[in-house]
Structure 1
Amino acid sequence: MTPSELAAILNGREYRIEISDSEEVLAKAAGLVVVFGASDDLMEFRGAISDELGAYERTTARVSPIGLLTSWESVDKEDEDAAEAYFKAKLGGYREIEAEWDPGDGYSWTFKTDIPHSTFEIVEDGEPYCRGIVFKLADAAPPPSQPTASGS
């Protein structure tokens, strides 16, 4: 499954019924990440990443090929695996996804990123609610010309 194929399947879904459990399993198996907004303060990730970020009005998520890069403050310092994953992602480099609430284009939520992606529309009562994105997690690696956090 490709990002454009999954985006086509999700296009036109109703708010709160954005992606089924079976579609999330298929997305994860294909290494795809679905991003959409919920309420007025959440950035949702489904598929190869299953998580959410607080995003009241606007936030920027940092994503690497191994997942969502959380802030150091949110890492459980007693969990060696969590700390190791944080540093691997940080040193390997990441890309950003900007979530914006009510950007003035007819949607409540939109997302901007330089990660290659496909878009889909979520509606609420037949009206546009969110323009979500689907991308390959592997594409979250920084471009070769972009130095990583380690400076290499």
Structure 2
Amino acid sequence: MNNIKKIQKILHGRNADEVFPEIDLTGLIIITCYDDDGIQFRGEINEHISAFGGTKILLLNKTNNEGFVPIKQYTLQKGLIDFINDHDIEVTIPKVEISVNYYSGLEREYAWVVKTEVPHYQFDIMLEDKKYCQGIILEVEEIRKAMR
């Protein structure tokens, strides 16, 4: 946990245009947003996902607990979930939900907010001296607990 607080301090207040710092992210997943439509995963997941206008992401467990795969809920619904529902198949998929909300206009404190029910740490990403994104730091162990 002490390491997470250090990482949170390093990330908090950084400018969105800055290069991501070289820090040890073993056992952690960092989720932030950039420009108008992208979600960035760092650490145990290194992935970029399009999220124009915001989206819901599901973290699915890989075989043999060898990590996680992020997938947009919409993508999953359009394929696998529709098939499962059409054929009355009962399936339980351990997953963690992450909401990524985009707010246009000046009425909100942030343009992007990343949320989840899994215990996490938050940090602010700045753009032109204004709060731009509220990112999160997740511990892999907390994600695994939430999937049980």
Match of 1:135 among 134, 138, 144: 138
**Which TM-score applies when normalising by structure 1?**
0.71
Name the one with the larger strand percent.
2
Query: How far did residue 32 of structure 1 move?
Result: 0.6
What RMSD over aligned residues (CA atoms) do the two structures have, in Å?
2.6
In the alignment, does 2:95 pair up with 1:97? Answer: no
Contact 1:119–1:131 at 8 Å: present in 2 too? yes
State percent identity of aligned pairs: 22
Partner of 2:44: 48
Contact 1:12–1:120 at 8 Å: present in 2 too? yes
Which runs of 5 or more residues in structure 2 are unaligned? 62-66, 80-90
Partner of 1:58: 54
Match of 1:122 among 110, 121, 125: 125
AA of the residue aligned to 1:50: N
Partner of 2:30: 34
AA of the residue aligned to 2:122: T
Distance 1:12 1:130, change over 3 A: same
SS of 1:143's partner is helix
Partner of 2:113: 110
Structure 1 residues 85-121: Cα deviation after superposition (integer angstroms, max 9, x where no partner): xxxxx96611010000117531110011011100000
AA of the residue aligned to 2:130: E
Query: How far did residue 52 of structure 1 move?
Result: 1.3
Distance in 2, matches of 1:128 and 1:49, equals 25
Query: How far did residue 141 of structure 1 move?
Result: 2.5
Contact 1:98–1:113 at 8 Å: present in 2 too? yes
Query: How far did residue 15 of structure 1 move?
Result: 0.7
Which runs of 5 or more residues in structure 1 are unaligned? 75-89, 147-152
